[in-house]
Amino acid sequence: MTTRTVLSVLSALLTLGTVAGAEIKIGVIVSATGPAASLGIPERNTVALLPQTIGGQKITYTILDDASDTTAAVTATRKLIQDTKVDLIIGTTTTPASLAMIDVVAEARVPMISLAASEAIIKPVDAKRSWVFKTPQTDALMATAIVQHMQRAKVKTVGYIGFNDAYGEGWLAELKKNAAARGIRVVAEERYGRSDTSVTGQVLKVVASRPDAVLIGASGVPAVLPQKTLKDRGYAGAIYQTHGVANADFLRVGGKDVEGAILPAGPVLVADQLPDTNPDKKVGLNYVTLYEAKYGAGSVSTFGAHLWDAGLLLRKAIPAALKTAQPGTPEFRSALRSALEGTRNVIGAHGIFNLSSTDHLGLDARSRVMVQVVNGTWKLLK
């Protein structure tokens, strides 16, 4: 055997060893503390339920907390890309922070699956957003369901109070667009901060406009405050919330003050109430069973299920990407982005995902149901 042959054999063995020992690094950023913690904690908890191997490759998850802060989310994104050398990022919890992360992941060419709601995170699919995907239903998709329900309930006027950030502004824009199309007038627009402790001034203005219904464009526990204040001020009309409140903490903190709230939600929230013909029922119940077995009965929320659905997308995309490139390389990250974009017919806890080059969410109307808070729990509206 010549020296050249020996070196070629050694090189091949080293290459095989590198491939065999390769691991896929996934960074996870969530809001485990701060105003959005009631959303971020179940997302963080769900990481423990994700697969440790996919396509024969070990998966390593690194979790960082952005404390519900946009600047911290951007810093965490850079840390995961530069220091941990991740192949993909899942996160973060809130819309403003997810929007701020787009420039960072696009520049580094690292795919990202957001856990936040706004349609602006993924649309339009331009050069930057081509690297960004998401699993939660968009504000646009859910606002349509809310306004359709209002129309059936003969609502003619609606007031709005929501977060004074990208989440709240996105919801207001979708409400206006959908309401105008159905002959419903928006008669009041008020904003408040996620950390505010009083919204009395805003609520008084909303009540003074005498709307048939009010939409609260907020998420998590901070969404309780406007509804409580509305009831304290004697408002008797219908109160709608967004899918950003669909967790046990909203019910626990709100108590009787959030009774009657109407909202759109992912099917997983009421998986046990779905008909057996619903394709998401089995997947949703499986997630609920796994989560509650680890964290306790009644602990599950729709937000953790968004991260679970991200894991389901990766189960399909990673094996496809591995056919053309190895983890830890720019080629693999690019292949993973392409594989996610080509994902079809993935049945998740929240709906059926059919992604494309123009749609980096891929959900349709089957991903939403209307529910109401009745006797301190969620009731599916027929």
Average pLDDT over residues 249-265: 97
| Inter-axis angle of helices 139-152 and 166-181, nearest 10 | 40
pLDDT at 8 over 60: no
Residue type, 329: T
Average pLDDT over residues 259-276: 97
More confident residue, 21 or 25: 25
Q: What is the mean pLDDT of the chain?
A: 94
Q: What residues contact residue 5 under an 8 Å CB cut-off, 6+ apart?
A: none
Average pLDDT over residues 191-215: 98
Q: Across the strands, what pairs with 30?
A: 65
What is the per-residue pLDDT across 334-354, written as a single tens digit (0 to 9) for each?
999 999 999 999 999 999 999
**CA–CA separation, 19 and 300 (whole Å):** 37
**CA–CA separation, 223 and 315 (whole Å):** 34
- Of all residues in the chain, what percent carry a pLDDT higher than 90? 93
**CA–CA separation, 112 and 317 (whole Å):** 13
3-state SS record for 293-344: HHHCCCCCCHHHHHHHHHHHHHHHHHHHHHCCCCCCCHHHHHHHHHHHHCCC
Q: What pLDDT score does 9 carry?
A: 41
Whole-prediction pTM value?
0.89
